[in-house]
Copies of this chain bind each other. A is one copy, B any other.
Amino acid sequence: MSTYDRALTVFSPDGHLFQVEYALEAVKKGACAIAAVSDDAVIIGVEKKSAAKLQDKRTVQKIYQIDDNISVAFAGLTADARVLIRKARTECQSYRLTFDEAPSISYVTRHIAGIQQKYTQSGGVRPFGISVLITGFDESGRPRVFKTDPSGTYSEWKAVVTGRNGHDVQEYLEKHYGEGENTSTDAVKTTVFNAIREMVESAEKNIEIAVVRPGKAFEFITDEELKQLNDEKNE
């Protein structure tokens, strides 16, 4: 057991990077997060561990704003996520100071993924135990969603999940996202809700959904709306 405690990240004989794969296990154990684009917004849905009775729900937060038009959700180790998010925020500020304009979402994605890769190739550190969903808008206002994993790989998605039960949820998204060519914000919101609803106990306690529009504050959907979505689902 103890041997896992002394490693750098190197190749196994069949070409695997064990530390990266182990970090992925940490991701797979994390509460799941979904991000999807609609016609004019990004919808982020996260599974919340029922906050303990006396816990403040806001600090169990899993959706963070990085820059004016860029937000992230994640699955995996919360403490690792906070560190990476802080690094990303600093980079955004630095970018603005240097270039006098906002960094693009693809720039931010490359930056986050690059940090994650670096922690898989250098001695004396371990990989980040998180997968990050990076959401935002490009210059034309088009909503976009990217996903990174502990290896530092990233790709763009219309709708994507990470974390616990990721495989099943992604299948659900593939089946229902854009059904009937409908990718209106309401339709996508419902899909995201339904995808995450399958695996949690209580819609109101365990689901948080935010709608993000360019240049606007997060719109966290209300408990009533969650109840309503829940009722619709059960119909």
- Residues in A lying within 8 Å of B, measured CB to CB: 1-19, 21-29, 36, 51-56, 58-60, 77-80, 82-83, 86, 110, 113-114, 116-129, 146, 151-160, 170, 173-174, 177
Contacts and interface: CB of A to CB of B under 8 A. Distances in A.
A10 B156 CA distance: 29
Given A54-B157, A125-B121, A13 B3 contact: no
A123 B121 contact: no
Nearest to A116: B79
A191 to B, nearest CB: 11
Contacts of A153: 77-79
How many monomers of this protein are in the complex?
7
Given A158-B54, A177-B54, A127 B11 contact: yes
A121 B150 CA distance: 14
A26 B22 contact: no
Given A55-B157, A55-B160, A126 B24 contact: no
B11 A25 contact: yes
Nearest to A178: B54
